[in-house]
Amino acid sequence: MPYEPPTHSVERSLRATTGAKIIAGVDEVGRGAWAGPVTVCAAVTGLRRPPEGLTDSKLITPKRRTALAAELEKWVTAYALGHASPEEIDDLGMTAALRLAAVRALDALPMRPDAVILDGKHDYLGSPWKVRTVIKGDQSCIAVAAASVIAKVRRDAMMAELEARAEECSAYGFGANAGYPSPVHKAALEERGPTSYHRLSWAYLDAMPRWQHLKKFRISAEAAALESGGQLGFDF
């Protein structure tokens, strides 16, 4: 099925309506995985024509995606990655972990963006960043699509390296499933239990009685604030 190529229309709109000159596209990968970090890429592209075939990373074959990521890393004006670890995801919850990873990526750019285009309908970044959310932005916006491809390839490589170098991860198939649910991953979990790289607050442990005692339960942000008498800085 052919897809319309992404454009700079959102970037142009932001420039016209807000005066923003430096605009970063932001996308995440790893939100639904059972293991590994959640990874966010921030990419600044300007208004140049992108490499051929750019679209949402999920619509590109792994071989082409890897080659395209190498092209994009040279083509973009700048890009940076941010990660939130499994421990941070368990402690903070996914929304706050996404914000943490996104801020790390944006702070690592060599220039500070005037505005951010965020894939999806939910602004998990928030103040002080000027954010425009775009549903399916990884298909329609060039900067977001570039961030999508780079983030996917980099995180997949991290998970493959983890499988290769960490003995406790050798049976889980991270090189093929990148920490997402798969028959191989599930079978290894049921037999061996979670590794130190797994998210222990995730619901997959509910279906594994042998390992349920390892599950972490996070106190809600509201309850934690009431207990400490503090104020929340943002929604979790």
Q: Which H, E and C letters describe the chain, residue by residue?
A: CCCCCCECHHHHHHHHHHCCCCEEEEEEECCCCCECCEEEEEEECCCCCCCCCCCCHHHCCHHHHHHHHHHHHHHCCEEEEEEECHHHHHHHCHHHHHHHHHHHHHHHCCCCCCEEEEECCCCCCCCCCCEEEECCHHHHEHHHHHHHHHHHHHHHHHHHHHHHHCHHHCCCCHHHHCCCCCHHHHHHHHHHCCCCCECCCCHHHHHCHHHHHHCCCCCCHHHHHHHHCCCCCCCC
Residues 158-212: pLDDT tens digits? 999 999 999 999 999 999 999 999 999 999 999 999 999 999 999 999 999 999 9
* Pairwise pLDDT comparison (219 vs 174), residue with the higher score: 174
Residue with tokens 């605009």: 23
pLDDT of residue 56: 85
> How sure is the predictor about 231, in pLDDT bands with cuts at 50, 70 and 90?
very low
Residues 16-51: pLDDT tens digits? 999 999 999 999 999 999 999 999 999 999 999 999
Residue 235 has pLDDT above 70, yes or no: no
Mean pLDDT of 52-78: 93
Look over the chain and give the mean of its residue pLDDT values, rounded to a whole number.
90
As given in the structure block, the two tokens for residue 220 are: 């809600």
Residue 223 has pLDDT above 50, yes or no: no
The C-alpha atoms of residue 97 and residue 103 are separated, in whole angstroms, by 10
